[in-house]
Amino acid sequence: MSSVRGKVAVVTGAGSGIGRQLALELGRRGARLAVSDVDETGLAETVAEVKALGMEVRGAALDVSDRVAVQEYAATVAGRFGVVHQIYNNAGVAGGGQTVLDAEWELYDRTLAVNLFGVINGTKAFLPHLIDSGEGQVVNISSLNGFMAQPTLSAYCASKFGVRGFTEALRTEMIAGGHPVRVTVVHPGGVKTGIASSALKEAQARGIEPTAEQVERVRLYNEKLLKMPADQAARIIVDGVEAGKPRVLVGNDAKLVDKLVRLLPRLYPKLIVDFERRRFARR
C-alpha cells in the first residue's frame, strides 16, 4: 500500500506539466489533494482529471510569489482538511534567454519571486501544519540547473541553486530540532513540459521580441532535450518521496550532469559552453 494513501498533499503549479502529473500520481496512490496555479483554466482541467480518479481534490488560484496569499491559502487548506501532511513546491517559470549584460531587472525580480521565494513562501506557510501532522514532508522542485550553470540562464540558475540551498538548510534544521518532517529536493533533467516555450511568451508579454536564435534554441530544447514524459517524472518523484530520499535526480541527463559537475568542477563550464556551441549553432 502506498505511504501517501489518505495523506493530505498540496501541489503548487498544478495546472500543467510536472505539477499536473504530480497531482494525478498522488491521486492514483490515494492522496487527498489541494492543488493551485495562476492558470485557472489549466488548474480546472487538473482538478477534473483528479476527480475522474474518484479522489478528493480542491483547487485554488494562487500566485506563489504573493506571500500573504500563500499564508492565507495554507490556513484555508488546513482548515478544510483538518491536517496537512505534504507540500510539493513545484510552481516555477523559465526565467532565461538573456545574458547578465542584457537582462532587465524585471527578469530577475519575477524569476526569483516565483522560483525561489515561491518555494520559501510555501514552505514557511505550511511547515507548522506539517510538523503538527506528526509525519510531514516538504518536497521542493529545483532542477539540474540547481547544480549546473548555463549561459543565458543566470536568473533561473540563481533561483534553482537557491532552492537547493534553502531545502538542504531546512533538512538540517528539521534534524536538529527533532521535528517529524522529511525534506526532499528534486532535480529534474529534461522533462517534456511547456516551460521552454513559456519563456518566449513571457518575453513577448514584457514587450521583448525574441531573436531568431532564441526561437531556434527553444525549438531544439523541445525537440531534442526535453524528452522524459511528465508522468514518468512524477512517478520518479513520488517514488523518491515514499522511499524517504533526501535528494531525487530525475532522468539520466540529471544523473550524468551531477557526476560531471562533481568530478570536474573547474572544467565543466567550458564543456557546457562547447556543448551549447555545437548544439545550438545556427543551422
Q: Are 184 and 7 in contact (CB under 8 A)?
A: no
- Per residue in 164-203, pLDDT (tens digit) is 999 999 999 999 999 999 999 999 998 877 665 566 566 5
| pTM listed for this prediction | 0.91
Residue for cell digits 505511504?
3
Neighbours of 149 (CB within 10 A): 17
Catalytic residue, chosen from 73, 88, 108, 156, is 156
C-alpha dist (Å) from residue 279 to 38, 96, 114, 282, 283: 33, 17, 29, 9, 10
Does the annotation mark 156 as catalytic? yes
**What's the CA gap between 130 and 78, in Å, rounded?**
10
d(CA 6, CA 173): 27
Grid coordinates representing 68?
500573504
The 10s digit of each residue's pLDDT in 75-120 is 999 999 999 999 999 999 998 778 999 999 999 999 999 999 999 9
Query: So what's the pLDDT on residue 276?
Result: 82
Q: How confident is the model at residue 20 (pLDDT cuts 50, 70, 90)?
A: very high
Sheet holding 247-250, edge to edge: 57-61, 32-37, 8-11, 86-89, 136-141, 181-188, 247-250
The Cα–Cα gap between 126 and 14 comes to: 17
pLDDT score for 283 = 45
Residue 150 CB: number of other CB atoms within 10 A? 16
Q: Is 218's pLDDT higher than 90? A: no
- Site of grid cell 540547473: 145
Cell reading at 153 = 540562464
3-state SS assignment for residue 10: strand
Q: Which of 200, 198, 194, 193 is nearest to 214 (CA)?
A: 200
- The CA distance from 228 to 67, in Å, is 32
pLDDT at residue 97, as a whole number:
79
| E strand or H helix at 250 | strand 247-250
